[in-house]
């Protein structure tokens, strides 16, 4: 153990060493270190508070990075992991505040809790394609702007992205059925959120304080929404439910969302005029202009927004005073949006459109 050797600036670890023990270089001021090819394990707190450590290249063959291994190495800006790593312990790189990007190798390594907690400048991360779990607090307080979640993912755990204020776009993969408590609380920059169709549970406080959200679509598979799940999403205007009301609904789910209306499809039973303290209304298809000047378009076109899987009919008439509405187009939405165009519109001095379901 060489802990608290404040004047130590250079160390050569010889070949043959397979293990760096617990707290081996705790609170030393090494600016860099060369690891031997024989290294297989870095023990708990081995480089804890090595405040001058700037870059590390870990050797191929390394399998274990134990808890707190590089905790609060505040000058560490680059860390390259080999694809032989199978275990990354709790808080392994927590509070490495200059760390900007990180690549976790494929192989679905065991990843502990709060691994990158407090890495405020971590803006980019590569997650292995076979990763199945985002562990507790993994990116708590990180600077991530976007993150590509792997298709193999099945679970997002407690506080996984807690306070990631710069995160703005999120597509949750199809295999995720549960989003843990407080997973995205305080993600104030989150503006685009897509849930998977097999999602069943949204935990307590999961999206609390996500000021950037204006609309969310809740799949019909969701049966449980926890306490405060969307509390203080102050710009949330529409929560669109594709199915019946969830069977388990917590308290204060939508508290302090002053502009919010809950929308539901016309057929599901169980909806009343108020849901969780929020007014409700039918979810109807909406036409959205493609450009500000539709008159110059050829053909005339607009987007239709509605629930995935719903069938919409466009009807047209030429006289609103005595309309004769005729169906001219029918389509089932594969996603939540489709485009309608009418190449015949120039054949009429005036033509009007409306939407309905079959």
pLDDT digits (tens, 9 = 90+) for 50-109: 999 998 989 999 999 999 999 999 999 989 899 999 999 999 999 999 999 999 989 889
Residues 224 and 220: their CA atoms lie apart, in Å, by 11
Is residue 40 domain-resident?
no
How would residue 46 be classed by pLDDT, with cut points 50, 70 and 90? very high
Is residue 10 domain-resident?
no
How would residue 6 be classed by pLDDT, with cut points 50, 70 and 90? low
Q: Is the predicted pLDDT of residue 18 greater than 50, yes or no?
A: yes
Is residue 312 domain-resident?
yes
Residues with Cβ < 8 Å from 101, sequence gap 6 or more? 122, 123, 124, 125
Is residue 335 domain-resident?
yes
Q: Is the predicted pLDDT of residue 295 greater than 60, yes or no?
A: no
Residues 115 and 89: their CA atoms lie apart, in Å, by 7
User: Are the beta carbons of 13 and 33 closer than 8 angstroms?
Assistant: yes
Is residue 344 domain-resident?
yes
Is residue 61 domain-resident?
no
Mean pLDDT along residues 162-190: 97
State the residue range of the domain holding 311: 296-356
CB-based burial of residue 293 (10 Å sphere; 0-12 exposed, 13-18 middle, 19+ buried)?
exposed
**Mean pLDDT over the full length of the chain:** 92
Is residue 35 domain-resident?
no
Pairing of strands 78-80, 101-103: unpaired
Give the model confidence (pLDDT) of 228-254 as tens digits. 999 999 999 999 999 999 999 999 999
Q: Is the predicted pLDDT of residue 293 greater than 50, yes or no?
A: no
Residues 205 and 226: their CA atoms lie apart, in Å, by 7
Q: Is the predicted pLDDT of residue 292 greater than 70, yes or no?
A: no
Closest CA to 88 of 69, 72, 73, 106: 69
* Number of domains present in the structure of the chain: 1
Is residue 100 domain-resident?
no
């Amino acid at each position: 153990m060489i802990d608290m050797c404040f004047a130590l600036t250079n160390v050569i670890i010889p070949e043959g060493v397979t293990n760096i023990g617990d707290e081996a270089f705790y609170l030393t001021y090494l600016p860099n270190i060369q690891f031997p090819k024989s290294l297989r394990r870095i023990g708990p707190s081995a480089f804890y508070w090595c405040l001058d450590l700037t870059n590390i290249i870990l050797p191929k063959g390394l399998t274990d990075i134990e808890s707190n291994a590089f905790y609060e190495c505040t000058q560490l800006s680059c860390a390259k992991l080999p694809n032989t790593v199978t275990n990354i312990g709790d808080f392994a790189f927590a509070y490495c505040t200059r760390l900007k990007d990180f690549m976790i190798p494929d192989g679905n390594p065991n990843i502990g809790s709060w691994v990158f907690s407090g890495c405020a400048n971590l803006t980019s991360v590569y997650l292995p394609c076979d990763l199945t779990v985002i562990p507790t607090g993994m990116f708590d307080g990180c600077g991530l702007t976007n993150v590509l979640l792997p298709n193999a993912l099945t679970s997002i755990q407690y506080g996984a992205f807690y306070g990631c204020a710069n995160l703005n776009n999120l597509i949750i993969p199809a295999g995720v059925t549960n989003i843990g408590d407080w997973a995205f609380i305080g993600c104030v920059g989150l503006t685009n959120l897509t849930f998977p169709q097999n999602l069943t549970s949204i935990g307590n406080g999961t999206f609390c304080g996500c000021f950037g959200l204006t609309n969310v679509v809740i799949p019909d598979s969701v049966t449980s929404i926890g306490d405060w799940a969307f509390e203080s999403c102050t710009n949330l205007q529409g929560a669109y439910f594709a199915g019946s009301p969830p069977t388990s609904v917590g308290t204060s789910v939508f508290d302090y969302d002053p502009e919010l209306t809950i929308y539901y499809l016309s057929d599901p039973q169980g909806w009343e005029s108020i849901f969780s303290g929020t007014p409700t209304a039918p979810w109807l298809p909406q036409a959205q202009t493609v450009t500000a000047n539709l008159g110059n378009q050829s053909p005339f076109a607009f987007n239709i927004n509605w629930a995935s899987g719903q069938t919409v009919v466009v009807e047209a008439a030429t006289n609103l005073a005595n309309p004769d509405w005729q169906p001219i187009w029918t389509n089932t939405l594969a996603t939540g949006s489709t485009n309608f165009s009418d190449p015949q519109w120039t054949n009429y001095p005036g033509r009007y459109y409306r939407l309905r379901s079959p």
